[in-house]
Amino acid sequence: MREHEQYIGQNFTKRIDRWLRRENTWLAKVLRRINSLEGAEYRISKTKRATDLVIALPTTALAFVPMGVLFVASAAQEPIGHPFYQQERRKSRTQATRITKFRTMRMNSDDDPDLTLTHSAEYSPENDPRSTRLGRVLRAFEFDELPQLFEVISGELSLVDIRSMATADLDIVRECKPDIYDKWETAYFEGTPGLFSLNSAMNKNRKHVLKRQRFDIFYAEHASLGLDLFILYRTGLRMMRKAEQKIRHSRNDPLI
């Protein structure tokens, strides 16, 4: 019976994936009727902003109490530092915005951009030596990102777009990928930086700043309401599967 239920669940998720990913399904046609804009026009449209609010407002309300618990836990873990971590991210060629996360790393752990890039490339969130004990759990399940929902509501971030980047990371891309940088930079600055992205939903190397450019450019060229919903769906599915793997692993390992 359990195997049958698992098969039905897998078949259902594949069906949703197909409905959102393909352009000739009934769901894709309905979404195009709601908003037919694509690319740069869609990324700055009122429909996209309205979608952000429709999803972010109730999600923030539901997450408010868990965020309060994480705030207290973060403050207890880091009595010298602050439970929140803020970093400047580029919003346009002339403007920056500050994103807020729950602190997951030791103080001053990202002062060296080259060391940060190395750690991001070589370590997973679970074994990054910069992370605190609580931070490993928060990063593994991406709960450290929850405070950014308030920045989505304020309009500093979009719920889905090309994920925001620090100035130092842009400099790394400029230096290491000069052949694609101009095209990628144009794509990045055409919209409002996102909390979620096609890269974070689909790329196994999503944490590496040099492994995301083709996903970002693809999103900029094909952005639409349907693609945004597809990204949210795949992100949620990825996080659910990660949680399932963690639970299965903890049951099999008597030391956890």
Distance, in Å, from the CA atom of 3 to the CA atom of 209, rounded to the nearest integer, reads 39
What confidence tens digit (pLDDT) does each residue in 225-248 have? 989 999 998 898 888 887 777 667
What are the residues whose beta carbons fall under 8 Å from the beta carbon of 103, sequence distance 6 or more? Answer: 74, 78, 81, 82, 83, 84, 85, 132, 135, 144
- pLDDT, position 168: 86
Interatomic CA distance for residues 187 and 101, integer angstroms:
25
Cα–Cα dist 52/41, whole Å: 16
What pLDDT, in 10s, does the model give residues 95-118? 888 899 888 876 665 555 555 555
Torsion of CA 159, 162, 165, 167, to 10 degrees: -130
Neighbours of 243 (CB within 10 A): 12
Write down the residue that tokens 């190395």 correspond to: 118
Q: Write down the pLDDT at residue 124.
A: 54
Amino acid at 196: F
In a domain, 44, yes or no: yes
Question: Do 102 and 138 contact (CB within 8 A), yes or no?
Answer: yes
What residues pair up with 85 in beta bridges, in sequence order?
101
pLDDT at 3: 45
Q: What is the pTM of this model?
A: 0.79
Cα separation, 48 vs 159, in Å, equals 9
Is 150 a domain residue? Answer: yes
- pLDDT tens per residue across span 40-84: 999 999 999 999 999 999 999 999 999 999 888 887 775 556 788
Within-domain flag for 124: yes
Single-letter residue type at 109 = S
In a domain, 221, yes or no: yes
- 11: in domain: no
Q: Are strands 96-102 and 84-90 parallel, antiparallel or unpaired?
A: antiparallel
Q: Span 20-28, mean pLDDT?
A: 77
Q: How many domains does the chain have?
A: 1
Where on the phi/psi map is residue 103: left (φ > 0), alpha (ψ -120 to 50), or beta? Answer: beta
Mean pLDDT for the stretch of residues 173-189? 94
CA atoms of 137 and 250, how far apart (whole Å): 13
**Domain ranges, residue 173:** 38-251
Maximal C-alpha separation, the chain: 59
| Nearest CA among 224, 225, 153, 226 for reference residue 195 | 153
Judged on CB neighbours under 10 Å (0-12, 13-18, 19+), 192 is: buried
Per-residue pLDDT of 147-166, as tens digits, reads 999 999 999 999 999 999 98
CB-count exposure of residue 189 (10 Å: 0-12, 13-18, 19+) = middle
- pLDDT at 123 (0 to 100): 54
Distance from C-alpha of 105 to C-alpha of 59, rounded to nearest angstrom: 26
Quick check: 133 pLDDT over 80? no
Query: In terms of residues, how long is the chain?
Result: 256
Instruction: Identify which has the larger pLDDT, 207 or 64.
Output: 64
Distance of alpha carbon 138 from alpha carbon 77, whole angstroms? 12
- Contact predicate 98/87, CB 8 Å: yes
* 220 found inside a domain: yes
